[in-house]
Amino acid sequence: MTTHNGSNPRGTAPPGTSLVPVRTPERDGMPVLPLAAPATVVHPVMVWWRTVVVAARALPLVLSFVRDHRSRIVRGDRVPRSPAFHARRAARLVETLGRLGPTFVKLAQLLGARADLVPEPYLAALGTLSDQAPLVPLAAVRRTIAREYGTPADEIFEWFDPAPLAAASLGQVHRARWRGHEVAVKVLRPGVERLVAADVRAAERLLALAERWFPNPHLRGVRNAVREFGVRVWEELDFRHEAANAAAMRANFAGRAGVAVPRVEPSLVRRRVLVMEYMPGTRIDRLQHLVASGRLDAEELVRRVIELYMRMMLIDGFFHADPHPGNLYYQEPPEGATGFGTIVVLDFGMVVPVSRELRRRLARAAFAGIRRDADGLVDGFYALGVADPRADRATMRALVDALLDVAYTKGTTARDRIELLADRVMSTLYDFPVTLPGDLVYFARTAALIEGLGARYDTRFNGVTFASPVALRLRREISAALREPGESELAWLGGEFDVVGAVLTSALGGAMGGAVGDVIGEIAGAVYAAGREIVDLIAGIVGPLVAPRRNGDGAER
């Protein structure tokens, strides 16, 4: 075994150095670091240069949108634009953002969940922007490792794969072997900290200028989103934060079958390098071969992903805020074993805590939606800050009615629902004082992930009706985590039996579903006093029945 200065075997700390992070308060063995302003110093010339570059590349698109705005002022309505024109302009927008580099790729992914700020088809186009980047040369990767550890990579790792496993906008991942274990080594992209710092300042300057010329709530919302991004992105640029997040997430899912979080190697945590357990698998959006061969039930996969995020959002209060298929992998069960395999969760650079009060509001709104309780959902929108406090309640009620009708429209594809939303909802949502608070943006991205995943394997997938039985099955755990002392176990959610009835209504449809739901509600109410076990039994029977069943061609049956 090669040694450093004849005394240091690979896989151990080099002499005179410590591979242990600076001591701070700890969580599950990993340092907990306060979110602070970046220490990166950016020369004003670089900021001005990036401002010029961004402005120059964005100018053609800006002028196109300005023409729309001026025409609206002169004519009193929007300039007529064909759907094909908007599609072409959305494609140019995505291309321009991709050319501007990693900062704008990450920012676009965040805005891709902001239906309150970005209208269709631009919203959908932003969701297609891939977080891929050119490869970092191996020599640059090795230099970063040597600077962070004070010794070459070959003196730390027994083997280091020169070919990267992945190259994203902020970092690059290589496979290696450390102390006999297969590990994944994540290395920050050289120069990305200065680039992000300059780009955020450039974007803020340009948006402030645009808002001065064209003041409106949407530009102000985009500017606030950039400001939020400018704070949160530094968590992703400091791998010590990611290490602490991964350790906490691993503890939350410890002992839960079907979910795995890689183990962090604490002694190898650095600001720009992170070493974690290597977990092979296949991206969850590339499993068609397993579904086609019968080795994987696509419905069960989507159900597990929904439960995973529901637990993070409503039970644990510690939420993986960068949900996209590249951060979720699937491992098949061991050879000879049957059943569902394991979902591997990756990339913990952006994880947000969810306060108990916010979780209570989210839960109430979610169960109101399941019950198709429009008034309850309107109350939820106001409580969550989605509706402007000055917004007229009657208008909000009309908006919620339209949303519920679209969500529960049967036999539609994802594209059908997008068109319905565009026709009946999006114009109101974009023009009305409705906004998505910063702490809800990440949850919206999760909804987009689930809808996209389900539609990949079933063209008629409906995330709302599919997720309802999962929420019902978790309702007691959600209530146990969130109810106040003295509150009835489930009444604070709005009534569990109304929930069951409403799901039956949406599943069976029309008067029949409503009647069956009412009858079951009455029966369940009567037996509740006889014991919770009976209610659990009924829910266990009803839950699978209300989940939409589909044939192999995607049609409901």
Q: Which of 290, 236, 310 is nearest to 463 (CA)?
A: 310
Q: Which of 237, 227, 111 is nearest to 170 (CA)?
A: 237
Q: What pLDDT is stored for residue 224 in this prediction?
A: 81
Strands 30-31, 159-167: pairing is unpaired
- Average pLDDT of the chain to the nearest whole number: 78
- The answer to whether residues 272 and 342 belong to one domain is no
Q: What pLDDT is stored for residue 189 in this prediction?
A: 94
Q: Would you say 206 and 293 are in contact if contact means Cβ atoms under 8 Å apart?
A: no
- The answer to whether residues 161 and 293 belong to one domain is no
73 inside domain: no
- The answer to whether residues 320 and 364 belong to one domain is yes
The average pLDDT across 119-147 equals: 85
- The answer to whether residues 292 and 384 belong to one domain is yes
- The answer to whether residues 380 and 274 belong to one domain is no
Q: Report the Cα 263 to chain-centroid distance in Å.
A: 21
Q: What pLDDT is stored for residue 150 in this prediction?
A: 96
CB-based contacts of 151-158 (< 8 A; 24+ apart in sequence): 151/4, 151/8, 151/14, 151/17, 154/2, 154/10, 155/2, 155/3, 155/4, 155/8, 155/10, 155/14, 156/10, 156/11, 156/14, 156/268, 157/10, 157/11, 157/183, 157/185, 158/1, 158/10, 158/11
What tens digit of pLDDT does each residue of 279-299 get? Answer: 999 999 899 999 999 999 999
The answer to whether residue 53 scores a pLDDT higher than 50 is yes
pLDDT classification of 361: cutoffs 50, 70, 90: very high
Q: What pLDDT is stored for residue 337 in this prediction?
A: 86
What tens digit of pLDDT does each residue of 179-237 get? Answer: 999 999 999 999 999 999 999 999 999 999 988 887 777 787 788 888 888 888 888 89
What residues pair up with 94 in beta bridges, in sequence order?
none
What tens digit of pLDDT does each residue of 154-186 get? Answer: 999 999 999 999 988 899 999 999 999 999 999
> What secondary structure letter does DSSP report for 63?
H
When computed from its CA atoms, the radius of gyration of the chain, rounded to whole angstroms, is 25
339 inside domain: yes
What tens digit of pLDDT does each residue of 229-261 get? Answer: 888 888 889 999 999 999 999 999 999 999 999
Among 485, 500, 515, identify where a domain stops: 500
Which of 322, 379, 439, 498 is labelled catalytic? 322
- The answer to whether residues 249 and 179 belong to one domain is yes
DSSP secondary structure string for all residues of 252-283:
HTTT-TTEE-PPB-GGG--SSEEEEE----EE
- Name the residue range of residue 142's domain: 134-188+239-279
- The answer to whether residues 442 and 465 belong to one domain is yes
Q: Would you say 370 and 471 are in contact if contact means Cβ atoms under 8 Å apart?
A: yes
Both structure tokens of 263 = 């183990």
Q: Would you say 265 and 239 are in contact if contact means Cβ atoms under 8 Å apart?
A: no
26 inside domain: no
The average pLDDT across 345-351 equals: 92
Which of these ranges, 316-330, 339-353, 474-488, 504-518, has the smallest mean pLDDT?
504-518
Q: What pLDDT is stored for residue 433 in this prediction?
A: 57
Strands 328-331, 282-283: pairing is antiparallel
159 inside domain: yes
Which of these ranges, 60-64, 132-136, 143-147, has the smallest mean pLDDT?
132-136
> What secondary structure letter does DSSP report for 553?
T
∠ Cα 164 248 360 (to 5°)? 120
∠ Cα 400 406 412 (to 5°)? 170
- In the chain, what is the straight-line distance between the N-terminal and C-terminal CA atoms, in Å? 63
541 inside domain: no
The average pLDDT across 316-327 equals: 89
The answer to whether residue 525 scores a pLDDT higher than 70 is no
pTM of this prediction? 0.75
Both structure tokens of 372 = 């198709």
Return d(Cα 170, Cα 186) in angstroms, integer.
Answer: 10
546 inside domain: no
Express the helix, strand and coil content of the chain in percent, nearest 5 each.
Answer: 55, 10, 30
Q: What pLDDT is stored for residue 466 in this prediction?
A: 86
- The answer to whether residues 352 and 412 belong to one domain is yes
- The answer to whether residues 122 and 271 belong to one domain is no
22 inside domain: no
Return d(Cα 343, Cα 259) in angstroms, integer.
Answer: 5
Distances (CA, A) of 107 to 64, 114, 224, 232, 430: 21, 11, 12, 11, 19
Amino acid symbol at 351: V
Greatest mean pLDDT among 29-38, 231-240, 434-443? 231-240
Among 249, 279, 309, identify where a domain stops: 279
Q: What is the CATH number of the domain that holds 148?
A: 3.30.200
Which of these ranges, 39-48, 119-128, 320-329, 505-514, has the smallest mean pLDDT?
505-514
Concerning whether 322 is annotated as a catalytic residue, the answer is yes
176 inside domain: yes
- The answer to whether residues 268 and 292 belong to one domain is no
Number of domains the chain is built from: 3
Q: What pLDDT is stored for residue 341 in this prediction?
A: 96
Would you tell me how many other CB atoms lie within 10 Å of the CB of residue 144?
A: 20
The average pLDDT across 484-488 equals: 83
The answer to whether residue 331 scores a pLDDT higher than 90 is yes
- The answer to whether residues 182 and 200 belong to one domain is no
Return d(Cα 73, Cα 478) in angstroms, integer.
Answer: 50
Q: Which of 524, 518, 546 is nearest to 537 (CA)?
A: 524
The answer to whether residue 20 scores a pLDDT higher than 60 is no
- The answer to whether residues 371 and 473 belong to one domain is yes
Return d(Cα 222, Cα 449) in angstroms, integer.
Answer: 22
What tens digit of pLDDT does each residue of 376-435 get? Answer: 999 999 999 888 788 888 888 988 888 888 788 776 665 666 555 555 555 555 555 567
Contacts of 519 (CB under 8 A, 6+ apart): none
